[in-house]
Chains A and B, each alone.
Chain A
């Protein structure tokens, strides 16, 4: 099994788990999914507090998830502002090579 396959599988398991845990989660954007050393997820949920910026938190790899994860949560309105470039993404994050996961897509 390739390293990339393992990364995709780990990322998608994590995304599915977050959809299961968080009923209000609308979308998860896997940012720069071509990066092989870490998983960057931008979660869109109306239940988060709007900070007017994208604050991304680092979690180190461990036995269960051998990739560092960087997670951020923003509201749907903030996501629209990100798309309009009114709110910037964290350093090094771009919308190139991103994947969008919705609840329906994950459940399918």
Chain B
């Protein structure tokens, strides 16, 4: 159990520094691929910080890239968050459901899940045959995250969960 606590602390610490890097790369001078890279890494490790306190094997946890969407889905029903977010249970459930498509798009940015398509880390080949570098791709997700209510809300929640992780989840 102590070992799992150490893993949880380590995942949380890394999620927080990834989030800090995401915040810094929000300046216009940074390429969009780097903003999304840090956002994807922060969200994955946030999910893993909660996952590692459960009973999934450490091997699966370190290998999986699917920790964030499940986290958002399950957190949508979690009672303790109702008070923290100032919502009743059906409002919370309904709101988290609207965030899932955005959480899924962030999760799919992991190169292992991107199915040889757009991802913020490695070049890929388009169906036309063109080879694209992440640095040259516009990533429409960035605009959706920053200019839609669901995107703004999801980013706000990631920040709240990271800042208040100990009070909410430990």
On chain B, the residues within 8 Å of A40 by CB distance are 55
Cα distance, A38 to B53, chains bound together (Å)? 13
Q: Is the CB of B55 within 8 A of A73?
A: no
Contact with B along A14-51 (1 / 0, CB 8 A): 00011001100000000000000000100000001101
Contact of A73 among B61, B74, B89, B93 (CB under 8 A): B74
The total of chain A residues at the interface (CB under 8 A) is 27
Residue of B nearest to A92 (CB): B55
On chain A, the residues within 8 Å of B51 by CB distance are 55-58
Given contacts A17-B89, A21-B90, A91-B55, contact A58 B50 (CB under 8 A): yes
Q: Looking at the complex, which of A1-9, A60-68, A100-108 is the stretch in contact with chain B?
A: A60-68
Given contacts A49-B104, A60-B169, A62-B80, contact A73 B56 (CB under 8 A): no
Cα distance, A64 to B81, chains bound together (Å)? 12
Chain B residues numbered 33-73 whose CB sits less than 8 Å from any CB in chain A: 50-51, 53-57, 60-61, 64, 66-67, 69-71, 73
Chain B residues numbered 62-110 whose CB sits less than 8 Å from any CB in chain A: 64, 66-67, 69-71, 73-74, 76-80, 89-90, 93, 104
Cα distance, A83 to B77, chains bound together (Å)? 26
Write the nearest CB–CB distance from B60 to chain A, whole angstroms: 6
Given contacts A21-B89, A56-B51, A59-B80, contact A73 B57 (CB under 8 A): no
Given contacts A57-B50, A59-B169, contact A21 B93 (CB under 8 A): yes
Q: Is the CB of A64 within 8 A of B70?
A: no
Cα distance, A105 to B55, chains bound together (Å)? 28
The CB with the most chain A CB atoms within 10 A, among B54, B57, B60, B67, is that of B54
Apart from the given pairs A56-B54, A62-B80, 9 other A-B contacts in the complex at a CB distance below 8 Å: A17-B89, A55-B61, A55-B64, A55-B70, A59-B80, A59-B169, A62-B79, A70-B54, A92-B55
Name 5 interchain pairs, CB-CB below 8 A, sorted by A. Answer: A56-B51, A57-B74, A60-B170, A90-B56, A93-B55
When A and B form their complex, which 8 residue pairs have the shortest distance between CB atoms, in order from nearest? A58-B53, A90-B55, A56-B54, A58-B54, A51-B66, A21-B93, A91-B55, A90-B56
